Amino acid sequence: MSNYVKIFDTTLRDGEQSPGASMTSTEKLELARNLARLGVDIIEAGFPAASPDDLEAVRLIANEVGNPPSGEEQTQVPVICGLARATRGDIDKAWEAVKGAQKPRIHTFLATSEIHMKQKLRMDREQVVEQAAEMVAYARSLCDNVEFSPEDAGRSDPNFLYIVLGEAIKAGATTLNIPDTVGYTMPEEFGALIAGIIANTSGMSDEITISVHTHDDLGLATANALAGIHAGARQAEVTINGIGERAGNTSLEEVVMALKTRFPVYALETGIDTTQISRLSKLVSKFTGIPVQPNKAIVGANAFTHEAGIHQDGMLKSNQTYEIMRPEDVGVNQTQLVLGKHSGRHALRVRLAEMGHVLDEVELDQAFTRFKELTDRKKVATYADLEALIADEFYQPLSVYTLDGLQVTCGTMGMPTATVRLKGPDGEVHTQASIGTGPVDATYKAINTIVNKGNTLIEFNIHAITEGIDALGEVTVRIQGNNGHQSMDAQKELSYSRIYSGHGADTDIIVASAKAYINALNKLFILQTEMETVRSV
Ligand code: KIV
Ligand code: ZN
């Protein structure tokens, strides 16, 4: 059996199903590029049948990331996968979306637990076996890389799974993914389920990859995935930061670092460049607006911080007393590496390239201007500052509105008042003054008056990126679109009330707050326009 575990990243599909995690197609493409650079083997780019804009986003990723122009630096071309229910319509759409990739895959699924078959599908066992086999064969007639998942396998009868999976192999599936859809199983059970499938499914061979897909409802997703891998699975379906439906999916960084740190236990490898993990975690958090909890394994802000005196004393004597991984192995130590006020363009270019951001001349000019503004105010720019600056400058969706000026008066001596100047879609400048309960409220009211797009602010988070009172402040917000239309079909109404996130960074926290809000509003505009455009063609 191979000693290589394929990493199947589903941040863009299962991850994007987290409430509020909607990303624009520009962000999805940027994330897919970074996932390829991280070294994932398969990118599940979306669920093309979910909506025309999902299909377009998957197609874009398949054509660009799954088919890089020859000569372009890309470590390895990943497989690009599209999800499909086991129906011809879904499979056609998935194929339509992924066929431009050099290595396309169709991933189709059908539920096999009694509760799902009876309550959701209203099908009996024979019908499920028949439909699974028929649809795998249909997918295989289009694409020679087909993955089949018996949804809710964790609560399915193992003997029935052996039959369905055997038929899926016969029909041409090359990967059998075993989902614990509702995060119900215990590690021993899940390990035994995988071992049972390998031992009892007819047609199993080294050509067939068994995959694990575990959810975190009981906090056991990583433990279950590792138990499945220990039992013989050689693909893990994961998301960055563990984002996903409900309590989320198995997190990529946990599985990869467990295999690496405890290599003697598993003797298994992955193709992940672990030094990029921290950067990807931050990127996903920015794009989705979902913050990472401070105590999150591997990527949380406290994961490598030592507070207790005894721990600090131990760390000073030897890092190994309280650290089982080296922070630099996940790309965390760079906070020490600072560039200063006097650093030049070349130093900035080299540092950004080390961080994985290869900029062209125009982009470097933009970044250098921002860098100079920052170091004029803050003297030094750490790794974290540079990441925030790059995200703020380049990872914003194409702007509809940009902040052109902001002045705020606040404090105890008068009404908080904000005067905001925004550049609009056609370059026209709008100025508006508003009063509010505080400076952020006043600023957001002024922005709303100019933008005039119904929305509700549902979350506002602010934190300092580095230590010290001169630190960059980073703001993330989440807003919910209000449709404001009287008659709308259900799908359109759903898409209008989606949650959009935005982020902004600046040494002035009111400016960072304004940028974050404008970023979220831009996303709302862009995603609604993308939906409208794709639907009208
Ligand atoms: O959790 C699940 O069952 C899934 C399938 C579509 C693989 O995400
Ligand atoms: Zn899932």
What is the number of the ligand closest to the CA of 211?
1
Q: What pLDDT was estimated at residue 484?
A: 53
Distance 101 CA to ligand 1 centre (A): 23
Residues 419, 432: Cα–Cα separation, whole Å: 6
Four-residue CA torsion sign, 174, 13, 113, 189:
positive
Query: Which atom of ligand 1 is nearest to 249's Cα?
Result: 1
- How does pLDDT run across 391-428, given as a tens digit for each residue? 777 766 567 899 999 999 999 888 999 999 999 988 89
290-307 per-position pLDDT tens digit: 889 889 999 998 888 766
Phi and psi of 198, rounded to 5°?
-65, -40
Give nearest CA residue, ligand 1 atom 2: 181
Count of CB atoms within 10 A of residue 361's CB? 9
Give 390 Cα–ligand 1 centroid separation in angstroms: 34
Q: Give percent above pLDDT 90 in the chain.
A: 63
Q: Which is nearest to 197 in space by CA: 228, 158, 147, 169?
A: 158
Which amino acid would we find at residue 238? V
Which of ligand 1's atoms lies nearest the C-alpha of 13? Answer: 8
Which ligand 1 atom is the nearest neighbour of the CA of 10? 8
At 483-494, the pLDDT tens digits run: 655 455 555 555
Nearest to 68 by CA among 80, 54, 57: 80
pLDDT of residue 2: 93
Q: Quick check: 265 and 37 in contact, CB under 8 A?
A: no
**Region 118-143: what's the mean pLDDT?**
98
Burial class (CB in 10 A: 0-12, 13-18, 19+), 265: exposed
* pLDDT at residue 399 in the model: 73
Q: What percentage of the chain exceeds 70 in pLDDT? A: 92
Q: Which of 11, 12, 13, 14 to mutate to test the pocket of ligand 1 (most atoms within 8 A of CB)?
A: 14
For position 537, what pLDDT does the model report? 47
CATH of domain 6-288: 3.20.20.70
Domain 402-536 bears CATH identifier 3.30.160.270: yes
Mutate to test the pocket of ligand 1, among 147, 213, 246 (most ligand atoms within 8 A of CB): 213
Dump strand ranges (E) for 284-428.
339-340, 380-381, 402-409, 417-423
pLDDT at residue 469 in the model: 72
- Best mutation site among 16, 109, 110 for ligand 1 pocket (most ligand atoms within 8 Å of CB): 109
Q: What are the φ/ψ torsions at residue 178 (nearest 5 degrees)?
A: -110, 100
Distance from residue 141's CA to the centre of ligand 2 (Å): 25
Task: Say whether 399 sits in a helix, a strand or coil.
Answer: coil
Q: Are 418 and 437 in contact (CB under 8 A)?
A: no
Looking at ligand 1, which residue's alpha carbon is closest to its atom 5? 151
Atom 1 of ligand 1 has which residue's CA nearest to it? 181
Residue type, 332: V
Nearest atom within ligand 1 for CA of residue 109: 6
Ligand found nearest the CA of 153: 1
Higher local confidence (pLDDT), 501 or 214: 214
Residue 277 CA to residue 274 CA, distance in Å, equals 5
Cα–Cα distance, 365 to 348 (Å, whole number): 10
Kindly report the pTM of this predicted structure. 0.81
Distance CA(372)–CA(466), nearest Å, equals 18
Q: DSSP letter at 233? A: -
CA of 532 to the centre of ligand 1 (A): 28
Nearest of 247, 248, 266 to residue 256 by alpha carbon: 266
- Which pLDDT score, from 0 to 100, does residue 505 have? 86
Q: How far is the CA of 48 from the centre of ligand 1 (A)?
A: 15
Please tell me whether residue 105 adopts helix, strand or coil conformation: strand
Lining residues, ligand 1, CB within 6 Å: 14, 83, 109, 149, 151, 177, 179, 181, 213, 215
Unique residue bearing structure tokens 């028929």:
134
pLDDT tens-digit series, residues 352-363: 887 777 788 999
Domain residue limits, the chain: 6-288, 304-332, 338-394, 402-536
Tokens of 106: 């169709």
Q: Do domains 6-288 and 402-536 have the same CATH topology?
A: no
Measured between alpha carbons, how far is 515 from 402 in angstroms, rounded to an integer? 8
pLDDT digits (tens, 9 = 90+) for 318-351: 888 878 899 999 988 654 557 888 888 888 988 8
pLDDT tens-digit readout, 171-211 = 999 999 999 999 999 999 999 999 999 999 999 999 999 99
Tell me how far apart the alpha carbons of residues 508 and 157 are, in angstroms, rounded to a whole number: 58
- For residue 46, which of 22, 10, 7 has the smallest C-alpha distance? 10
